[in-house]
Amino acid sequence: MQYFVVMIDYGRRGREAVVDPEITRREVISRIASGEYRNVSFIHEIAGSSVEDVTEAILTEAALPRIPPEDVDLQAIHLDHARDVRKHERT
């Protein structure tokens, strides 16, 4: 069995450990990126009888959005910018 423990620090109000065996690594990253999990003290990955601190790795993944190269349309971005420049020149 593998699960994650996310410790959230509420300051003077205390701390809360979110432990749910149903939550995957991807879901933890998603919740951090969306802002649902804030002020994370640490994240531990429990797998069998071992515990690993994965705080830095998950926080890094949550901070950097992954955009596959095929989803980036550089020509469309250039055309949008050119349209915006023309629009502002007319006013």
Show me where the domains of the chain are located: 2-66
Query: Measured between alpha carbons, how far is 2 from 74 in angstroms, rounded to an integer?
Result: 40
| pLDDT of res. 28 | 95
User: pLDDT tens, 41-69?
Assistant: 999 999 999 999 999 999 999 986 655 66
pTM, to two decimals: 0.67
Query: Mean of the pLDDT values across residues 80-86?
Result: 78
Query: Measured between alpha carbons, how far is 42 from 9 in angstroms, rounded to an integer?
Result: 9
Share of the chain above pLDDT 90, in %: 52
Q: Which tokens belong to 35?
A: 């802002």
Q: Which tokens belong to 57?
A: 């790795």
Question: How big is the CA angle at 88 (ends 85 and 91), to the nearest 5 degrees?
Answer: 155
Average pLDDT, the chain: 85
Partners of 48 in the β-ladder: none
pLDDT of residue 29 exceeding 90, the answer is: yes
How many other CB atoms are there within 10 angstroms of residue 6's CB atom?
21
| pLDDT of res. 83 | 79
| pLDDT of res. 14 | 93
